[in-house]
């Protein structure tokens, strides 16, 4: 009987994943190179084979193509990344990168999530710890009985707050991108935990910082990153305004909105991403007008109500102009953008429904926008069908905006029983959370 060869844990990462004996030649083992495999090198960290396999899941989609000059694969980068202190941090970061980002970006396709925030994790400890908290909370939301995820999230978030205090106390103008990125991630974490007031506080801070450094946001070599961060802040305004009520008011005035220098006259944009950012500005305008209408109605200010009505008409006209440009761009976009296109189309019809309905009055005022509700339902059913086809990576969780708010509007305001039931079925179809909002 031949002796059983005991495998060591000092072999290369590739051989350990494959569960074969490694000859441990460095920098690349002969077993990998002779079989034409990419040797991912060695790690002194105590990764189990399961850890390494989980870390390698996104390798096939992220690894460089043959002939690429990028010779360092994502797995090698992850296990040797000194930004993270231990195996646990690396595993949570890998989950965030491969699962949370994909799920969050499924309907919004924003560079903030798949580039800006990932880069910031390696540059700023406050962002790193906050991102680890987001990752752990995502896992806790999927597996509520596994309390270790919640505990890890809470610990990481406290560490993020401590590091953020250090960042703010020593920050200079060049650090604005780090500070704003931390604000965005903090907003997201407080939102999914249901802490609306704390989320609003971080939003107020982020908005004040952006206003203070408005000129810097328009110039410099990091201008595009800063724009991405600011646009994410603007998108997070939408669920916050929609969630606001008299018990939990969202103090955001038209003056605050205009201070962000929104684009209120759509231009003939060239990309679907420009269309997205333009619609976000118009949607914020429409929703804030709704808040102003509530205030004017409570104060019985007839003149203010008339002015708000005129502004709503103007916003609705701008939305129609936006839609004309949008359809031209959407027709030329590739298949990878279809979920984003559907999401934008849904939000457009939601805003038009709000704009065309009377400011105040009986529920029958919504009957005149039933055509918009019908489009919302049809589009949302297609969104849910596509998300379900993606599976766990795209269906369950998002820190950004999605379809829930607009479907909720339809299910609660549309008086057609057939459309309303279809709206409720959409909300029940997938267990999904989008920031403050959950099905």
Is the per-residue pLDDT at 143 higher than 60? Answer: yes
3-class state of residue 270 by DSSP: coil
Per residue in 90-128, pLDDT tens? 888 988 988 899 999 989 989 999 999 999 999 999 999
Return the pLDDT at 149: 87
Is the per-residue pLDDT at 23 higher than 80? Answer: yes
Is the per-residue pLDDT at 372 higher than 90? Answer: yes
Report which DSSP code applies to 5.
P
Architecture of domain 14-62+73-83: Irregular (4.10)
d(CA 148, CA 361): 49
Return the pLDDT at 435: 84
Order of all β-strands in the sheet with 433-434: 397-398, 433-434, 437-438
Is the per-residue pLDDT at 56 higher than 60? Answer: no
d(CA 148, CA 3): 41
Is the per-residue pLDDT at 243 higher than 60? Answer: yes
3-class state of residue 268 by DSSP: coil
Is the per-residue pLDDT at 305 higher than 60? Answer: yes
* Contacts (Cβ under 8 Å, ≥6 apart) of 103: 138, 393, 394, 395, 396, 397, 398
d(CA 338, CA 252): 32
d(CA 38, CA 14): 8
Which of 16-20, 232-236, 387-391 is predicted most confidently? 232-236
Q: In terms of DSSP bridges, do strands 437-438 and 397-398 run parallel, antiparallel, or are they unpaired?
A: unpaired
User: What are the domain boundaries of the chain?
Assistant: 14-62+73-83, 86-246, 254-439
């Amino acid at each position: 009987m031949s002796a059983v060869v005991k495998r060591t844990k000092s072999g290369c990462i590739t051989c350990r994943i494959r569960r074969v004996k490694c000859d441990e030649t460095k920098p690349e083992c002969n077993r990998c190179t002779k079989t034409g495999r990419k040797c991912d090198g060695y790690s002194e960290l105590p990764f189990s084979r399961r850890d390494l396999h989980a870390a390698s899941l996104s390798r096939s989609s992220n690894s460089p193509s043959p002939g690429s000059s990028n010779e360092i694969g994502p797995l090698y980068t992850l296990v040797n990344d000194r930004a993270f202190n231990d195996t646990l941090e690396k595993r949570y970061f890998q989950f965030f990168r491969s699962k949370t980002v994909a799920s969050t970006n499924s309907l919004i396709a924003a560079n903030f999530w798949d580039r800006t925030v990932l880069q910031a994790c390696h540059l700023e400890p406050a962002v790193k710890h906050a991102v680890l908290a987001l990752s752990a909370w995502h896992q806790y939301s999927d597996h509520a009985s596994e309390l270790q995820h919640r505990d890890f999230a809470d610990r990481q978030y406290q560490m993020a707050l401590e590091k953020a205090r250090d960042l703010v106390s020593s920050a200079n103008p060049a650090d604005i991108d780090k500070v704003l990125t931390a604000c965005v991630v903090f907003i997201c974490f407080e939102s999914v935990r249901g802490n609306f007031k704390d989320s609003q506080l971080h939003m107020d801070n982020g908005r004040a910082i952006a206003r203070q450094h408005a000129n810097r946001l328009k110039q410099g070599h990091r201008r595009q990153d800063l724009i991405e961060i600011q646009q994410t802040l603007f998108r997070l305004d939408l669920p916050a305004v929609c969630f606001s009520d008299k018990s939990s008011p969202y103090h955001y005035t038209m003056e605050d909105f205009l201070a962000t220098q929104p684009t209120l006259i759509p231009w003939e944009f060239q990309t679907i991403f420009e269309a997205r950012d333009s619609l976000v500005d118009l949607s914020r305008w429409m929703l804030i007008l709704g808040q102003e209408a509530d205030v004017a109605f409570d104060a019985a200010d007839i003149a203010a109500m008339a002015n708000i009505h005129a502004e709503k008409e103007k916003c609705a006209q701008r939305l129609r102009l936006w839609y004309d440009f949008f359809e031209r761009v959407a027709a030329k976009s590739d298949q990878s953008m279809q979920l984003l296109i559907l999401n934008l189309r849904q939000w457009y019809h939601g805003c038009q429904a709000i704009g065309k309905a009377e400011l105040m009055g009986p529920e029958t005022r919504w009957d005149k926008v039933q055509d918009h509700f019908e489009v919302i339902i049809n589009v949302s059913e297609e969104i849910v069908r596509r998300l379900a086809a993606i599976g766990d990576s795209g269906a369950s969780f998002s820190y950004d905006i999605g379809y829930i708010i607009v479907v909720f509007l339809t299910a609660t305001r549309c008086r057609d029983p057939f459309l309303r039931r279809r709206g409720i079925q959409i909300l029940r179809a997938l267990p999904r959370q989008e920031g403050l909002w959950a099905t």
